[in-house]
């Protein structure tokens, strides 16, 4: 990792360790002395917030497994056992279930921040791609976890999602039987999803290490989107950003606690408090809020295979953003046109989310189709063309100069 | 910095320590639910006591019941066993305790059937003292369940129990 570590061990035990395993100087270089642009705003704290979320999910998840029974006859009642019998089980489960939503909220903010400030552009393409890998793993983990509760939404969500794979020509049925371990979603399915739900968070943790490793080669992007030119443009990560990140995490915890303690079921579906019944599908079946935009895209295509393909492309296209965006200017601050299309895209994503929660009929279907078309238009037409036709505003000389100018203007006013 | 440090505690020092204190208290309060969840839960505690019908246990017979996941021996002792237990000199015992302190009614000996050495279940009416014998490492218990020979350090434990009437006992 880059960043010149001035780590000088003084005590004998540290020297002993350092000669054999230089982990302390590695940590010092990565999280203490690491030179970080001095102009990062609060949108940059979501990386730290996401590490906090992953930690919370792993700790509460390991505890929930101590009390959960992964069997179709007992899974649902063991969740109720956690809620009623286990000491503070309600708290730990509500932290875990709302924690998934908090994790996605934070990751969407993190991703939109990257889109706004062009954090995916050269030389940070791989950081973005690793981030997308984490995002895909997160959706998998969230889906697996949702099934474990074995309520009506769990069961029918699992049925619908696994059936997506059945749409694939030739190998569809083969994949389905691999996923199910039977002829439908049943006990073998629950068991394998339980196993994977425990595995994926650790895969995520591993990719997070790669994500941060890759980040520490070029260093952080920043709101101006221009390169760091020298030490005058940076401050050390500690104490400046450790404190800023900690403060942001505390604020985030307050927001998180609001859900856990005052509206723990606001983001869930009441139907999931009914035990899975394979003979009756709930009248209105929807995924959790964080998957609604993709669900809307799936439903807006009136063909089984094409719908699945559209949804797959909607996710996969995000991997290609570093090459679809042809502009050399990173930050939307200096891209007058892109800035407007960024907000249009954000609104489009929110509309898709809203449509995904509504029944697929009437106006909802029409709006859903328009929003779906715009989603693909944004990535495949607008992004590449904008870079060619847009005239960016002049970029500041350096981060340091921009910061000093701003502070001078502040003093004058 | 050096000039600041030489001065009296500043407002910044106070805020630093106050913030750290709030953080430490918060972390401690948050840690408790995560530790307490390991303790027995409500469903376990609800089954923590049992009632046993002992009216059918004749003199010289015994039953073993499960209580809190462990065996409990309920033995209807014979007069010979009671007198043998009473005659032992307390000073000679490894874990000195009079037989009358180990029973509520002399004919009923109720104790946890777990060897105090390493947790095996002793065999009844075996061993050198006519009481119990643990097959794992050779501990001998007498007719009052007291350790007499072998590696175990203590007498077999007496659970909390009450006689509800002549025919029923509540353990736990």
**For the segment A227-248, what is each residue's pLDDT rounded down to a tens digit?**
999 999 999 999 999 999 999 9
Residues A311 and A297 sit within 8 Å (Cβ to Cβ): yes
**Spatial contact of A33 and A393, defined as CB atoms under 8 Å apart:** no
Q: Is B69 left (phi over 0), alpha (psi -120 to 50) or beta?
A: left
- Among B37, B38, B46, pick the best mutation site for testing chain A contact (most A Cβ within 10 A): B37
Residue A5: the pLDDT is: 56
The angle subtended at Cα A336 by Cα A333 and Cα A340, nearest 5°, is 95
pLDDT at A85: 97
Residue A409: per-residue pLDDT: 84
Give the mean model confidence (pLDDT) for residues B80-95: 91
Active site residues of B: 137
A88–B39 CB contact, under 8 Å? no
CB pairs under 8 A between A and B: 34
When the pLDDT of each residue in chain A is averaged and rounded to a whole number, the result is 95
Choose the closest CB to B37 out of A81, A84, A89: A89
Residues of chain A with pLDDT under 70: 1-5, 413
Q: What is the pLDDT of residue A285?
A: 87
Phi/psi class of residue A124: alpha, beta or left (left: φ > 0; alpha: ψ in -120 to 50)?
alpha
Please tell me the predicted confidence (pLDDT) of residue A2.
46
Residue of A nearest to B42 (CA): A85
pLDDT confidence of B7, banded at 50, 70, 90? low
pLDDT for B9:
85
Kindly identify which residue of chain A lies nearest to residue B44, measuring between CA atoms: A85
Strand partners, A235: A36
Task: Look at residue A3 in the predicted model and tell me its pLDDT.
Answer: 46
Give the end-to-end CA distance of chain B in Å, rounded to a whole number.
64
User: Residue A85 and residue B41: Cβ atoms within 8 Å?
Assistant: yes
The pLDDT value recorded for residue B1 is 46
The strands making up B50-53's β-sheet, listed across from edge to edge, are: B50-53, B168-171, B161-165
**pLDDT surpasses 90 at B92:** no
A85 part of contact set with chain B, CB < 8 Å: yes
A91 contacts in chain B (CB < 8 Å): 33
Cβ of A88 and B37 within 8 Å? yes
Task: Tell me, yes or no, if B11 comes closer than 8 A to chain A by beta carbon.
Answer: no
**Residue B8: is its pLDDT beyond 80?**
no
- Give how far A206 is from chain B: nearest CA, Å: 25
CB contact under 8 A, B43 and A85: yes
Mean pLDDT of B117-121: 94
Question: Does A90 contact chain B (CB < 8 Å)?
Answer: no
pTM of the model: 0.89
The interface pTM score, or ipTM, of the predicted complex is 0.84
**Domains in chain A, please, with CATH?**
38-405 (1.20.810.10)
- Mean pLDDT over B1-29 rounds to 83
CB contact under 8 A, B39 and A59: no
If we measure between CA atoms, which residue out of A237, A210, A207, A316 comes closest to residue A44?
Answer: A237
């Amino acid at each position: 990792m880059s960043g010149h570590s001035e780590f000088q061990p003084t005590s004998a035990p540290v020297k002993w360790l350092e000669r054999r395993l230089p982990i302390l100087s590695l940590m010092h270089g990565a999280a203490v002395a690491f030179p970080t642009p001095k102009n990062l705003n609060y949108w940059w704290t979501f990386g730290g917030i996401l590490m906090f979320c992953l930690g919370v999910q792993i700790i509460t998840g390991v505890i929930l497994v101590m009390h959960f029974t992964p069997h179709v006859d007992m899974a649902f009642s063991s969740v109720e056992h956690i809620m009623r019998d286990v000491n503070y089980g309600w708290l730990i489960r509500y932290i875990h279930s709302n924690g998934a939503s908090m994790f996605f909220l934070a990751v969407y903010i993190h991703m939109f921040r990257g889109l706004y400030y062009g954090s995916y552009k050269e030389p940070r393409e791989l950081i973005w791609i690793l981030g997308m890998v984490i995002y895909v793993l997160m959706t998998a983990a969230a889906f697996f976890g949702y099934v474990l509760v074995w309520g009506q939404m769990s069961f029918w969500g699992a049925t619908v999602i696994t059936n997506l794979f059945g749409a694939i020509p030739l190998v569809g049925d083969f994949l389905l039987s691999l996923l199910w371990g039977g002829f439908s979603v049943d006990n073998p399915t629950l068991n394998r999803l339980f196993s994977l739900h425990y595995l994926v968070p650790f895969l995520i943790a591993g990719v997070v290490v790669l994500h941060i490793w890759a980040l520490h080669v070029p260093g952080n992007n920043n709101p101006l989107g221009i390169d760091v030119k020298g030490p005058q443009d940076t401050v050390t990560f500690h104490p400046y950003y450790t404190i800023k990140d900690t403060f942001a995490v505390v604020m985030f915890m307050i927001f998180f606690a609001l859900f856990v303690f005052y509206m723990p079921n606001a983001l869930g579906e009441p139907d999931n408090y009914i035990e899975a019944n394979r003979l009756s599908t709930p009248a209105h079946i929807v995924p959790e809020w964080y998957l609604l935009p993709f669900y809307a895209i799936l439903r807006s295509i009136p063909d089984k295979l094409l719908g699945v393909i559209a949804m797959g492309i909607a996710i996969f296209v995000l991997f290609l953003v570093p090459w679809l965006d042809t502009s050399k200017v990173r930050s939307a601050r200096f891209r007058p046109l892109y800035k407007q299309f960024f907000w249009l895209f954000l609104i489009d994503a929110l509309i898709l989310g809203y449509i995904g929660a509504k029944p697929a009929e009437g106006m909802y279907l029409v709006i859903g189709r328009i929003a779906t078309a715009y989603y693909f238009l944004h990535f495949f037409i607008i992004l590449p063309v904008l870079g060619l036709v847009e005239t960016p505003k002049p970029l500041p000389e350096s981060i340091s100069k921009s910061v000093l100018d701003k502070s001078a203007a502040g003093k004058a006013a | 910095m050096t000039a600041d440090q030489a001065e009296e505690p500043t407002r910044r020092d106070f805020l630093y320590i106050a913030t750290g204190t709030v953080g430490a208290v918060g972390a401690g309060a948050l840690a408790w639910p995560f530790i307490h969840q390991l303790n027995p839960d409500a469903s376990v505690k609800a089954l923590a006591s049992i009632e046993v019908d002992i009216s059918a246990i004749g003199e010289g017979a015994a039953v073993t019941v499960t209580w809190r996941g462990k065996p409990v021996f309920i033995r209807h002792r014979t007069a010979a066993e009671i007198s043998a237990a009473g005659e032992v000199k307390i000073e000679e015992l490894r874990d000195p305790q009079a037989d009358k302190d180990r029973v509520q009614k002399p004919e009923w000996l109720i104790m946890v059937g777990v060897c105090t050495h390493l947790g095996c279940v002793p065999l009844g009416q075996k061993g050198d003292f006519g009481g119990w014998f643990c097959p794992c490492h050779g501990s001998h218990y007498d007719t009052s369940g007291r350790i007499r020979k072998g590696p175990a350090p203590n007498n077999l434990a007496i659970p909390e129990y009450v006689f509800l009437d002549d025919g029923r006992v509540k353990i736990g």
